[in-house]
Amino acid sequence: MNIVWAIVLLFGGLAILWKSADLLVGGAVRLAKRLGVSPLVIGLTVVAMGTSAPEMAAGIAAAVRGIGDIAIGDVYGSNIANLALVGGLCAIIRPIGIQLRTLRREMPIMVLVALLLWPILHNLYLSRPEGFALLAVFAGLIMLTVYTAQKDKISGTEEQRNKGTKEQKNKDAFFFAPLCFVIIGLAGLALGADMTVRGAVFIGKQIGLSEAVIGLTIIAVGTSLPELVTCLVATVKKHHDISIGILVGSNIFNTLLVTGTAGTIRPFSLGQRLAEIDYWVMVIVSASFVLMALIGRRISRINGALLLCGYVAYMIYLLVFSA
């Protein structure tokens, strides 16, 4: 690869990311309407799982090699980036409105799930039974989400009745079309993220960045690119339920599904620093995000700026003490 191809990969990947995110958001909204559920539910499940695929792949690869620090570090880092970097940028562009039920249910669950890791990982070891336990909690939450969605659908809330117009039913007459948009969007996100990271890594090496700096910046942000671009597109289109669903859902998926799967595949130990510093940074960021949301039922531009500044400060801390 030369610098020209690296630039082509970088900007071509970004273009694919943006178009794929546009297809994904549009497909997710149409799919939610077709199924008679809120876009939040689709964001919490289908879209969140798809955008968490890079973290899942990294966690499994690290677990197979017995590198616990990478597996857990990727979970912590991605969770922090989702809320502080992605959430911060989206809120700066347009304040993110949040439904009351999301504040009462999904967002507290996100914090509780993060706290659940402490009794499991405080001894710096993740066993196979503990991995199974995390997966069991994850399965329970998914079933609860599906049950609640079906209950809301049957009860026929006012919001859903407003969406059920004849025009919209004709527009979304087929289930297949919006599902295809979602699948194509997710596949495009994976391709675009890979192209962007490859090009950026090559350019970074050419301008003299060390592997440590590249790993802490380009690679770390690279695994969060699907969430970042999808949430930005959803924010621009004022689909706040999709944005919040992705941010909250991805963090729950990372904490339970990625960690649980990694521990189930191969038990591993992790460094003390992850348990004593980075874990608590993740918890503080998660709790701060929820607290900000409780004030005014939205993430304001000021909140977004604070989150983004916090992420930048954390990255500086990592770079200074990475040696």
If one compares 226 and 305, the residue with the highest pLDDT of the two is 305
The band of 174, judged by pLDDT with boundaries at 50, 70 and 90, is low
- The per-residue DSSP string of 209-271 comes to --HHHHIIIIIHHHTTHHHHHHHHHHHHTT-HHHHHHHHHHHHHIIIIIIHHHHHHHS-EE--
Q: How confident is the model at residue 167 (pLDDT cuts 50, 70, 90)?
A: very low
Name which residue leads in pLDDT, 220 or 48: 48
Lowest mean pLDDT among 25-39, 154-168, 215-229, 243-257: 154-168
As a whole number of angstroms, the distance between CA 297 and CA 241 comes to 13
282 vs 22: CA distance, rounded Å:
29
Query: Between these two residues, 318 and 209, which has the higher pLDDT value?
Result: 318
Largest separation between any pair of C-alpha atoms in the chain = 62
Reported as a single tens digit per residue, the pLDDT across 196-237 is 767 777 777 777 765 545 554 666 676 677 778 778 888 887
Is the pLDDT score of 160 beyond 60?
A: no
Average pLDDT (84-89) is 92
Helices (H), 36-127: 39-42, 48-51, 53-64, 68-80, 87-93, 100-104, 106-121
On whether the CB atoms of residues 218 and 10 are closer than 8 A, the answer is no
Name the nearest CA neighbour of 147 among 135, 139, 137, 159: 139
Residue at 64: amino acid letter: V
Q: What is the pLDDT of residue 114?
A: 93
Residues of 179-204 as b/e, b for ≥16 C-beta within 10 angstroms?
A: bebbeebbebbbebbbbbbbbbbbbb
pLDDT of residue 137: 94
pLDDT at 304: 94
How many alpha carbons fall within 13 Å on the CB side of residue 251? Answer: 34
What percent of the chain stands above pLDDT 90? 23
Cα distances (angstroms) measured from residue 185 to each of 3, 82, 179, 241, 306: 28, 19, 10, 18, 31
**Domains defined for the chain, CATH in brackets:** 3-321 (1.20.1420.30)
Q: Please write the tens of the pLDDT for every residue from 275-304.
A: 888 899 999 999 999 999 998 788 999 999
Q: Please tell me the predicted confidence (pLDDT) of residue 132.
A: 94
Position 5 pLDDT exceeds 60? yes
- CA–CA gap between residue 31 and residue 174 (Å, rounded): 10
Question: Residue 165: which pLDDT band, with cuts at 50, 70 and 90?
Answer: very low
Most confident of 39-53, 184-198, 307-321: 307-321
Tell me the pTM.
0.78
Q: Give the per-residue pLDDT at 285.
A: 95
* pLDDT for the residue 255: 92
pLDDT of the residue at 276: 83
Task: Name the residue among 143, 86, 147, 134 with its Cα closest to residue 253.
Answer: 134
Task: Give the residue carrying structure tokens 């970004």.
Answer: 14
**Average pLDDT value for the chain:** 79
